[in-house]
Amino acid sequence: MTNRLCAALCVAWIALFSPLCAQAALLAGFPQQGRLEYDLMHGEDRGRIGRAEHAWQYADGRYQMALAVQTAGLLDAIYHFEYTQQSSGVQGADGLVPEEFAVLQTRRQDQRAHFDWAHNEVQITRKQRTTAYPIEAGTQDVLSIWHWVMQVKGGGKPMPTQMNVVTNRRVYTVAVEDKGKTRASIRGSERAAHLVTMRATNGKLTLEMWLDETLWWMPLRILMVDDKGLTLDQQITAESLARFEAQRDGVPEEAASAQEGAPAENAP
């Protein structure tokens, strides 16, 4: 299960940006530094198998992001597993322009992608071998998808119908569908959301993202299904949601940390 978990996570965060020199502005009020936590569920019974934490920082026209995943409970006792994605680059005119992407994983060598925009190629290193792939303007690594969605949706721009993505393995083409307003189910409660789906054109992955337009279009839930039927379900924690709502509303973080329970209803 863990190898397939890694494969799904490697292509779960998908994005597209243009490598331009001018700097695009973040959405008003969006925290330039922050973190979000998600419970990682698995399979039809949606049993909790771990926790994912996404952290980011914007400063001086640059960005850094990381996604850290760790097993929990009985699975962690039997098979401890840690997995981290890292992305860094610049804030371009149309969004993020990646320069470096890395995957760090328990019991495996680091895997890295270097974006060489001067030669329009990405150099992916894994298993001590480096392979160069051609890329076009708009190619992005897998980590910063919700930041891209935030900037596209928050800026009132239409979603593209297709995009390219670099993973720690290769370059993929992904079809995108903006399905509009719906409701997200999070630990048995429902919340207004906006659904975006992404499917690799080779059929290897389906990704569904429920976004909260009242919270800078951040993902409330991310559901992944691979070609073998493996289901991975990331649902934002109540504590993380309360903290982010407090940042939006200008409430001190200490007050937000005191809130407990499942996500509350918010009207569309």
> What pTM did the predictor assign?
0.78
DSSP 257: H
Q: Please state, as a whole number, how many other Cβ atoms lie within 10 Å of the Cβ of residue 116.
A: 12
One digit per residue, pLDDT tens: the chain, 268 residues?
Answer: 555 555 444 444 333 223 333 566 677 888 999 999 999 887 655 677 889 999 999 999 999 999 898 887 655 545 566 889 999 999 887 778 899 999 998 777 889 999 999 999 999 999 889 999 999 887 878 887 778 778 788 888 888 898 888 888 888 888 999 999 999 999 888 999 999 998 989 888 788 999 999 999 999 998 888 767 667 788 999 999 999 999 999 887 665 455 444 444 443 3
Strand partners, 141: 166
Name the one residue in this structure whose structure tokens are 């993973």.
Answer: 167
Q: Please state, as a whole number, how many other Cβ atoms lie within 10 Å of the Cβ of residue 194.
A: 20
Tokens of 100: 């470096």
Each domain of the chain, given as residue ranges in start order, spans 2-248
List alpha helices for the chain, DSSP H. Answer: 2-10, 73-78, 145-154, 238-249, 253-257
φ, ψ at 157 (rounded to 5°): -90, 150
Tokens of 180: 């509009």
